Amino acid sequence: MYHNPVLLKKSVDDLVTNPDGIYVDCTFGGGGHSSEILSRLSAKGKLYAFDQDLDALKNTIDDPRFTLINQNFRFLENALMMYGVSKVDGVLADFGVSSHQFDEAERGFSTRSNAPLDMRMNVMQLLDAKKVINEYEEEHLADILYQYGEIRESRKLAREIVNHRKLKPIETTEDLKKLFSYIPQFKQNKVFAQIFQAIRIEVNQELEVIKELLVQAHRMLKPGGRLVAISYHSLEDRLVKRFLKNGMFEGEPARDIYGNYDKTFDLLQTKAVVPDSEEIKENSRSRSAKLRTGIKLK
């Protein structure tokens, strides 16, 4: 089952300013955002959606204005050019892992189910969680846990993994969790979530893919076009926030003698929009969502 789209009305309100325009939904999933976008378009409007998950293809929408592209959104520019599209009016990206992927136990995304260590959003790729856990060097593992899971004791956890796999391969989510059964119970859920997040981000190159998307979306947007991004943890949101602010992911832009720099976007809202209590009550997975919208300047 796919989740109810997060911040549905607000995200599409921000996105669609021209009913005759061309729009992109980078994360099709169950098709909730796409359906809402199509409801705002005229007969001349066009929507292209991306999803690398084969399961998402089952949800395709029968509408002549709609095209579903079975690719990772990191290929946004090239894929759209194959359809003769060089400029668009708006790009929407909902970066969360879909409820469907969490709920399909055999995919290995959830800490709640015992499953093979997989975590691939694209089941055709070679790198999976089992390979990361069993083959990465200890230092590399520690870096991943620290950078992507924001785990302070990353070196200790990486050492535990490496020491255990010397005796026996770590093959399932339960195998992985059992290594850390010594962690106090009141901390376990949080630590497990951080570990799984870190591995999932590495397996799917999530942060690099987001960077690639944001840069390409800026190039493809018409002046006045809108980029709407929904993030679910601080690592994603930080990339979006910085890119919308100054077109960069790290460092500071070059400034003139007056301290001004060339902005790439105007922010529609100065602060991120978050779900209200009613939406969180209906969809608990929306609680960490943050929506930011930028309007391309030139």
Q: What are the domain boundaries of the chain?
A: 8-99+206-296, 115-204
Q: In what order do the strands lie in the sheet with 88-94?
A: 66-69, 46-50, 22-25, 88-94, 221-231, 290-296, 265-267
94 is in an annotated binding site: yes
Q: Where does the pLDDT of residue 96 fall: very low under 50, low under 70, confident under 90, or very high at 90 and above?
A: confident
Q: Where does the pLDDT of residue 100 fall: very low under 50, low under 70, confident under 90, or very high at 90 and above?
A: very low
115-204 architecture in CATH?
Orthogonal Bundle (1.10)
Gap between the Cα atoms of 214 and 248, Å rounded? 10
Average pLDDT over residues 3-17: 93
End-to-end CA distance of the chain: 40
Residue type, 63: D
Gap between the Cα atoms of 80 and 91, Å rounded? 12
The token duo for 32 is 């909730």
Whether residue 2 has pLDDT greater than 70? no
Give pLDDT, residue 253: 82
> Cβ(141)–Cβ(158) under 8 Å?
yes
Whether residue 109 has pLDDT greater than 90? no
Gap between the Cα atoms of 124 and 294, Å rounded? 33
107 vs 185, higher pLDDT? 185
pLDDT digit string (tens) for 11-58? 999 999 999 999 999 999 999 999 999 999 999 999 999 998 888 788
Average pLDDT over residues 84-103: 81
Please name which of 104, 87, 16 lies closest in space to residue 53, comparing C-alpha atoms: 104
Per DSSP, the three-state class of 137 is coil
What's the CA dihedral at 171, 172, 175, 180 to 10 degrees? Answer: 110
Is CATH 3.40.50.150 correct for 8-99+206-296? yes
51 is in an annotated binding site: yes
101 is in an annotated binding site: yes
73 is in an annotated binding site: yes
pTM of the predicted model, to two decimals?
Answer: 0.89
33 is in an annotated binding site: yes
Tell me which of 153-157, 165-169, 179-183 is least confident.
179-183
pLDDT digit string (tens) for 121-136? 888 899 999 999 999 9
DSSP code at position 74? G
